[in-house]
Structure 1
Amino acid sequence: MIDVLVIEDEIEIQNFIVSLLSTYCKDLQIVGTSSSVAEATSLIKIKKPELIFLDVELKDGKAFDLLNCFDVNDFVTIFLTGYSKYGINAVKYGVSDYLLKPIILKELIESVEKAKAKVKEKHMLRKFYTDATIEEVSGKILVQKINKLKVLLNYAEILNWTSEEGFTRVYLNDNQSFLLNGTLKSFYDKLPSFFIKIHRSHAVNLHFVQSYGMNRNGWVKLNNGTILPVSSRNKRAFLAAINAFSD
């Protein structure tokens, strides 16, 4: 069963979606409903759903306010909205699908099947992940590989961290990478200050930033040639960090 949260501020629509899912999607389990950003944020932390149906415009904010509180791969998201104008932002936030109201059963089922495939992919990846723990005192990260061998990675050798289907991939300056069991957010809070989050899906080592641009579509280029996006929400923090780092 896949745990599902339905977040919709129009109660009739909320009940309608719950009814459709309960009737036609038997492998989904509704673990809660919500009508606001604040309540939904708390529910997600408690219930830890794998899939959420999320109305874009809620009574105390927008869906993006909620998504900004979580890692892009904490759950799979299906947007619900009466407006098509949010499509571009939905893609930027890694939303699985985008359903326009009024909800059509055929489209709902197709959207659910797509989301289920993403959830299944995450489950399969768990067979291949690498465990990791943060060694704060030594300034290193302890990595346990699938074959149980353990290696210590220096923070100074890490170029960037990237969310990847519910896990986090760490890239080294020698072209190695490791898939770690944990979200970017869970690692980021423990990292040294020379790492800065530039996007919901990316954090970079300031030592390896070669150049950057802060126009409408911000970007950072690392010294290995990798180019990563900088979200509008993270631009100010990145500029403050890179300027302080350069002084």
Structure 2
Amino acid sequence: MATLNTIIVDDEEFARSSLYFLLQENCPEVNICGIAKSVNEARALLQNHDIDLVFLDIAMPGEHGFSLIPQLQETNARVIFTTAYDQYALKAIKANAIDYLLKPIDIEELVAAVEKAAKYKQLNQALNQSVGLKNLETDFKEQKGVNKLTLPSGQGYRLVDVDDVIHIEADSNYSVFHLKNQEKITVSKVLKDYEEILPEERFVRIHKSSIVNLKYVKEYNNKNGVVLLLENGEHLAVSRRRTSDFFEKIKAYALLQSEK
């Protein structure tokens, strides 16, 4: 099984030491590279080590555990949240955490979470590190005809057909993919990252919080500003400053379809 370079981030000494010994006794694949008492200390460890896994407390004095997520998004490190409170579960899921463990930590749940992290790393290696948006951008530029997106999920990656994406909405620092099967996938990347790699002849940024696939635009009207009706029944507004670009793109798309 893959070795996991790991750090523990928790402001409570007992919690840090307890988790350290649980990992030492039950998870031989874990290589603990450092222990941090704060998010700031964790940042320093991430700069000095190639980390695969972070055990991260949430409610800490000073910076909240979630404030470390933006830096983690720049690496291949994944997170297992460890907390005494369960109200953060939804936010942890949106952060694409490997798992969410409540204190006191159950040994079986800990072992299962570490196994998930190890499988994630193995998948990452099997794909020759061809994950993340930088690699996706390369795929789109260098491989004509690529029509799939690799979206990070809690236990690995989801391959999604570009044609199945109806629209993408921004949710703070996350992007929510709305698929034609009515499934929604939340990814911890901003909308602009996907705007840069999606085929521009089909995907149009219509608002600061929306990208739409023209394939699924059923109709639109401009009685009180331009509003789109999508095939899944959703209505999306086009911002004023993006209206002109939208009309140009949809006319070009309609012309392209008529020529096929």
Q: Structure 2: any 5+ residue segments left out of the alignment?
A: 166-186, 218-238, 245-260
Q: Structure 1: any 5+ residue segments left out of the alignment?
A: 135-140, 145-149, 176-197, 227-241
The RMSD of aligned alpha carbons is 4.2
| Deviation sequence 1:19-76 (CA, Å, 0-9, x none) | 1111111111000110111121221122121011000112221121110233276212
2:51 paired with 1:60? no
Describe the shift of the 1:103–1:152 C-alpha distance in structure 2 as closer, same or farther (beyond 3 A).
closer
| Deviation sequence 1:173-218 (CA, Å, 0-9, x none) | 9x9xxxxxxxxxxxxxxxxxxxxxx95265233763254585xxxx
The answer to whether the 8 Å contact 2:10/2:38 transfers is yes
Separation of aligned partners in 2, 1:101 and 1:246: 51
Separation of aligned partners in 1, 2:150 and 2:17: 37
- Shift of the alpha carbon at 1:133? 8.8
Compute the TM-score of the two structures, normalised by the length of structure 2.
0.58
Question: Hey, what does 1:147 align to over in structure 2?
Answer: none
Question: Hey, what does 2:183 align to over in structure 1?
Answer: none
The answer to whether the 8 Å contact 2:98/2:116 transfers is yes
Separation of aligned partners in 1, 2:72 and 2:112: 25
Separation of aligned partners in 2, 1:2 and 1:123: 13
The answer to whether the 8 Å contact 1:96/1:115 transfers is yes
2:189 paired with 1:200? yes
Question: Hey, what does 1:122 align to over in structure 2?
Answer: 124
Higher strand share: 1
Separation of aligned partners in 2, 1:38 and 1:243: 41
Separation of aligned partners in 1, 2:109 and 2:134: 42
Describe the shift of the 1:63–1:118 C-alpha distance in structure 2 as closer, same or farther (beyond 3 A).
same
Q: How does 1:150-169 map to 2 (within 5 A)?
A: 151=142, 164=152
- Shift of the alpha carbon at 1:223? 2.9
The answer to whether the 8 Å contact 2:4/2:30 transfers is yes
Compute the TM-score of the two structures, normalised by the length of structure 1.
0.60
Q: Residue 72 of structure 2: SS of its match in structure 1?
A: coil
| Deviation sequence 1:108-166 (CA, Å, 0-9, x none) | 11221122221221121117x49x999xxxxxx7769xxxxx9488xxx9999865479
The answer to whether the 8 Å contact 2:101/2:110 transfers is yes
The answer to whether the 8 Å contact 1:210/1:223 transfers is no
Describe the shift of the 1:245–1:4 C-alpha distance in structure 2 as closer, same or farther (beyond 3 A).
same
- Shift of the alpha carbon at 1:244? 6.3
Counterpart selection for 2:204 from 196, 206, 209: 209
Q: How does 1:25-44 map to 2 (within 5 A)?
A: 25-44=27-46
Counterpart selection for 1:89 from 67, 88, 91: 91
Describe the shift of the 1:212–1:9 C-alpha distance in structure 2 as closer, same or farther (beyond 3 A).
same
Question: Hey, what does 1:221 align to over in structure 2?
Answer: 212
Separation of aligned partners in 2, 1:152 and 1:111: 35
Task: Give the AA of the match of 1:209.
Answer: V
Counterpart selection for 2:104 from 102, 105, 121: 102
Q: Residue 204 of structure 1: SS of its match in structure 2?
A: helix
